[in-house]
Chain A
Amino acid sequence: MHVESKLREPLITGGKNLHDISRDVSRRVEEKPSLSWFAALSVSLLMLSVGGYAVYRTLWDGIGMWGLNKTIGWAWDITNFVWWVGIGHAGTLISAILLLFRQRWRMSINRAAEAMTIFAVICAAMFPMLHMGRLWVGFFWALPLPNTYGSLWVNFASPLLWDVFAISTYFSVSLVFWYIGLIPDFATIRDRAKLSGKKVSAYIYGVLSLGWDGAAKTWSRYETVALVLAALATPLVLSVHSIVSMDFATSVIPGWHTTIFPPYFVAGAIFSGFAMVLTLLIITRKVYKLEDYITIRHLELMNIIIIVTGSIVGIAYITELFMAWYSGVEYEQYAFYNRVTGPYWWAYASMMTCNVISPQLFWFKRIRTNIAATFIISIIVNIGMWFERFVIIVTSLHRDYLPSSWAMFYPTFYDVGMYLFSFGFFFTAYLLFSKYFPVINMHEMKSILKPTGDKIKTK
């Protein structure tokens, strides 16, 4: 039973009732795709095909097509990998951690955020897989399968292998979590299609809804499943980026060998994930006219999370500098001195401006409740987070112990093309999702709406 506070502002505005929610969300699935949707899809597909050429050349000619060299063995690709995985942290954080904390505002945004998570993780996984060069054999080397290559089982002491387990678990558990949430909403769309006599839609959404009937017994089990999944996914979210950070932290490279990496990476991941959720949802709510469900209040709450995580990230940057100086290790000191003042100073400066300074603007209520400002800052944050990974990876590698091997990294068309490919995939997937799947969790929205409570709301 839900208690409605008279003091707290309602999360859904516009005096909606239960049927309005079904109608407003399902309508987007039922109507014919708009011209602007086709235009957006064409742009994404264009990006996908131009990027596809870069992927094809990478596979056919090898990763020599990239701008990597002997000194800098990880650059653009691993930057993209960490960036996408980071973005993929918001969805499950919103649906799992905020569920455990009973934050009901998550209900308007969790569906789209989880979808974004799943697509972002696919984009991320693409980079290390293609970096293996011969994907078709490399893929099997990463799994603990019996083989005839000699001694070798996979090395369970390596954080790179932990990553394989962490990301595949994270992907599959997030996918299941997302799908479980979709089942009752597919049933709503199925029944609306049945009522309006659309046989094909009724059949397709009937299959997708797995024969959901909404019985009290099923709902009771369903709620237990959702709660236990949230409890399982919460440490999982935190583990994934911790393990990604260990790819760096367990090495002995100055600039990477830092114990603060796990919490620092997790905060950065949530930071960039929320920024991407904001970018996508500001457009989605506008195009799909969902302003009553994703209100300014929702955007403001997400902006507050951005201030918190952005500040944690800022403190981490300063801690890194302090620890490098305080450690007394000259290699460590040089790595950071070079990071700030060396040839890549501009990357460091962009990172600092975008990630540490720009989110601080959200302290002003006028800025954090302004849609245009939020949209711009959300993009700036994601640019900054890309630079963060670039700074960590490239500036730590490009001047190693031997000055004769110092080098610079210059991306080729194929580096950029791969990045474009991931964007093409991401936007194509998101566009298909937002057209054919309900972008808002209808049954959860209904559970926070009180039909008889309208009198209180309109007072």
Chain B
Amino acid sequence: MNKDNKFLIGFFDDDEVLLKAISFVREKGIKIHEVYSPFPVHGIENALGYKRSRISIAAFCFGFLGTCLALTMMIGMMTIDWPMIIGGKDFLPFPTFIPVIFEMTVLLSAFGMVGTFLVVSDLKPWGNPVQFDLRSTDDKHVMAIELNKNSLSKDKILGILKSSGASETNEKNINK
């Protein structure tokens, strides 16, 4: 479909300058494609207008599934399938089920959440990420702006990037 899109790239050295620049650039009506950072910048999701991640909901659902599975397994085995008297306890000794319920809840919650994270973020061993600049995992924050999606001209956007505090600007054709 749309291949070889032209991107304008701004480099930032400092995360505070970056945060101000994001607000500045967005106020000028420029759509930012994405910002790539070597470390998590606090408040960047607000500056870019991203919604809060709902991944913790996935964690809760998987955790709840773990609780249910643990209960079903233990009641099925110890109470229904083959009830035995152990230490004079009930056939449904709920207090002794608590440790396994807890562990299964944590196990499924953690694995389910991390699995969800890998899927939604498209992280996979054979993944081939779009990288605007290799220094974005080292010491540069990279702001990418897609030229086609913005009405402003190239020079104008580059000028805005410069005045927002970018230490360096660049343009790159990326085959999406």
To the question of whether A and B form a pair in one complex, the answer is yes
Contact present for B82 and A224 (CB under 8 Å):
no
B137 within 8 Å of A (CB atoms): yes
Contacts of B82 in A (CB 8 A): 151-153
The answer, among B56, B93, B118, for a CB contact under 8 Å with A157, is B93
Which B residue sits closest to A163, measured CB to CB? B99
Q: Number of B residues whose C-beta is below 8 Å from A?
A: 71
A180 CA to B43 CA, complexed, in Å: 21
Contact present for B43 and A215 (CB under 8 Å):
no
Contacts of B87 in A (CB 8 A): 157
Contact present for A211 and B136 (CB under 8 Å):
no
Contact present for A224 and B103 (CB under 8 Å):
no
Contact present for A157 and B34 (CB under 8 Å):
no
Q: Given that A18-B138, A153-B78, A239-B99 are known contacts, is A225 also in contact with B55, CB under 8 Å in the complex? A: yes
| SS of A interface (majority) | helix
Contact present for A191 and B114 (CB under 8 Å):
no
Min CB distance B130 to A, Å, is 7
Q: B23-31, B44-52, B147-155, B156-164: which one contacts chain A? A: B44-52
Contact present for A195 and B15 (CB under 8 Å):
no
Min CB distance A3 to B, Å, is 10
A177 CA to B129 CA, complexed, in Å: 22
Q: Which of B35, B102, B118 has the most CB of A within 10 A?
A: B102
Contact present for A213 and B131 (CB under 8 Å):
yes
Min CB distance A446 to B, Å, is 4
Contact present for A217 and B106 (CB under 8 Å):
no
Contact present for A169 and B107 (CB under 8 Å):
yes
B68 within 8 Å of A (CB atoms): no
Contacts of B16 in A (CB 8 A): 1, 452
A183 within 8 Å of B (CB atoms): yes
The answer, among A173, A183, A194, A211, for a CB contact under 8 Å with B107, is A173
B96 within 8 Å of A (CB atoms): yes
Tally of A-B Cβ pairs under 8 angstroms: 204
Min CB distance A263 to B, Å, is 16
Proximity bits, B1-41, A CB within 8 Å = 1, else 0: 00000000000011111010000000000000011111111
50-67 of chain A: CB within 8 A of chain B: none
Q: A228-236, A371-379, A398-406, A423-431: which one contacts chain B? A: A228-236
Which A residue sits closest to B87, measured CB to CB? A157
Q: Given that A17-B139, A225-B55, A232-B110 are known contacts, is A207 also in contact with B134, CB under 8 Å in the complex? A: no
B42 within 8 Å of A (CB atoms): yes
A452 CA to B87 CA, complexed, in Å: 66
A7 within 8 Å of B (CB atoms): no
151-210 of chain A: CB within 8 A of chain B: 151-157, 159, 161-162, 165-166, 169, 172-173, 176-177, 180, 183-184, 187-188, 190-192, 194-195, 207-208, 210
Contact present for A228 and B129 (CB under 8 Å):
no
Contact present for B42 and A1 (CB under 8 Å):
yes
A153 CA to B109 CA, complexed, in Å: 25
A103 within 8 Å of B (CB atoms): no
The answer, among B36, B89, B104, B118, for a CB contact under 8 Å with A213, is B36
Proximity bits, A342-374, B CB within 8 Å = 1, else 0: 000000000000000000000000000000000
Q: Given that A17-B139, A161-B100 are known contacts, is A191 also in contact with B131, CB under 8 Å in the complex? A: yes
Contact present for A220 and B100 (CB under 8 Å):
no
Which A residue sits closest to B121, measured CB to CB? A218
Contact present for B123 and A183 (CB under 8 Å):
yes
Q: Which of B89, B106, B107 has the most CB of A within 10 A?
A: B106
Min CB distance A434 to B, Å, is 21
Contacts of B50 in A (CB 8 A): 216-217, 220
Contacts of A17 in B (CB 8 A): 139
Contacts of A208 in B (CB 8 A): 125
Min CB distance B131 to A, Å, is 6
Contacts of B123 in A (CB 8 A): 183, 210-212, 218
Contact present for A157 and B99 (CB under 8 Å):
no
Contact present for A216 and B111 (CB under 8 Å):
no
Which A residue sits closest to B134, measured CB to CB? A191
Contact present for B41 and A169 (CB under 8 Å):
no
Min CB distance A244 to B, Å, is 11
Min CB distance A111 to B, Å, is 14
A32 within 8 Å of B (CB atoms): no
Contacts A/B (CB < 8 Å), 20 sampled? A1-B41, A17-B139, A18-B139, A19-B138, A144-B77, A155-B78, A165-B103, A165-B104, A166-B99, A176-B110, A191-B131, A191-B137, A213-B36, A213-B129, A214-B36, A216-B44, A224-B53, A232-B59, A232-B110, A443-B40
Residues of chain B whose beta carbon lies under 8 Å from any beta carbon of chain A:
13-17, 19, 34-45, 48, 50, 52-53, 55-56, 59, 63, 73-74, 77-78, 81-82, 84, 86-87, 89, 93, 96-97, 99-100, 102-104, 106-107, 109-111, 113-114, 117-118, 120-131, 134-139
Closest 8 CB pairs of A and B: A211-B127, A18-B139, A213-B129, A153-B77, A210-B123, A162-B99, A446-B39, A157-B96
Residues of chain A whose beta carbon lies under 8 Å from any beta carbon of chain B:
1-2, 17-19, 22, 144, 151-157, 159, 161-162, 165-166, 169, 172-173, 176-177, 180, 183-184, 187-188, 190-192, 194-195, 207-208, 210-225, 228-229, 232-233, 235-236, 239, 243, 246, 443-444, 446-447, 450-452
